Amino acid sequence: MTEKKILVVDDEPRIRKLVKDFLTMHGYKVVEAGDGEEAMDIFYSDKDIIMVILDIMMPKMDGWQTAKEIRAASKVPIIMLTAKDTERDELTSFDLGVDEFISKPFSPKVLTARVEAILRRTNPEENSVVELGGITVDKAARTVSVDGNPVELSFKEFELLTYFMDNKGIALSRENILNNVWNYDYFGDARTIDTHVKKLRNKLGGKGDLIKTIWGMGYKFDA
């Protein structure tokens, strides 16, 4: 069985140790890097890394540039762990393909729960193919196509689209979406969902209109 190996990148040794201790207790192996350049060296040489937890403010190469390089080479889930907590920073992270954005100070228990939720959903237990309205989702291969043309989605965008299609015709509140797609107690506002829906619609082109806005509530996939 492939080892569950996570790359933790932060220039603060204390933060790396905190994250490592909790993840190790849950059966993960943690590889550490103190800056973006070191992280990329490790990432390219170690093919067993299944997730990257990444700080923004680091020497040599910051987290955004590191995330951009990782995403150009891999779809491995990325969690951005940062002391910066503005809407612009969060949106920039999502634009780069980051899957989660966690602000410092953080609860290591919550971080571990998010890690486990993401990895649980990357396990291709469901190998069914869903096709609705010209959108085809292969859950096992984690691929999406629109009218036969492949579409590149981030991890969270894929999970969001799959959840919408699995619940076609049902009005889904933002709370339901957070509980099922993010799968943790979320204490922020609705902009996280709205941002992901907007990006997902854009990537689906004309088929993005199949995701209907239910004003004052949430969204519905209506094929």
Quote the domain boundaries for residue 77. Answer: 5-122
Domain boundary among 122, 152, 177: 122
Reported as a single tens digit per residue, the pLDDT across 117-133 is 777 766 655 457 889 99
Fill in the DSSP letter of residue 206: G
102: helix, strand or coil: strand
Indicate if the pLDDT at residue 85 is higher than 80: no
What tokens were used for 166?
């699995």
Q: For strand 5-9 and strand 49-54, is the pairing parallel, antiparallel, or unpaired?
A: parallel
Q: Are residues 154 and 56 in the same domain?
A: no
CATH number of the domain to which 160 belongs: 1.10.10.10
| CA 73/CA 9 separation, integer angstroms | 17
CATH number of the domain to which 110 belongs: 3.40.50.2300
Reported as a single tens digit per residue, the pLDDT across 129-147 is 889 999 999 987 889 999 9
Question: Order of strands, edge to edge, in the sheet holding 211-214?
Answer: 172-173, 218-221, 211-214
Indicate if the pLDDT at residue 1 is higher than 50: no
Q: Are residues 205 and 108 in the same domain?
A: no
Domain boundary among 122, 157, 185: 122
How high is the pLDDT of residue 181? 82
Residues pairing with 135 in the sheet: 132, 146
Quickly count helices (H) and strands (E) in the chain: 8, 12
| The total number of structural domains that make up the chain | 2
Q: Are residues 93 and 171 in the same domain?
A: no
| CA 152/CA 144 separation, integer angstroms | 7
pLDDT band of 45, cuts 50, 70, 90: very high
Average pLDDT of the chain is 86
Q: Are residues 78 and 143 in the same domain?
A: no
Is the model more confident about 15 or about 176? 15
Amino acid at 133: G
pLDDT band of 102, cuts 50, 70, 90: confident
Q: Are residues 103 and 140 in the same domain?
A: no
How high is the pLDDT of residue 128? 78
Q: What are phi and psi of 194, to 5 degrees?
A: -60, -40
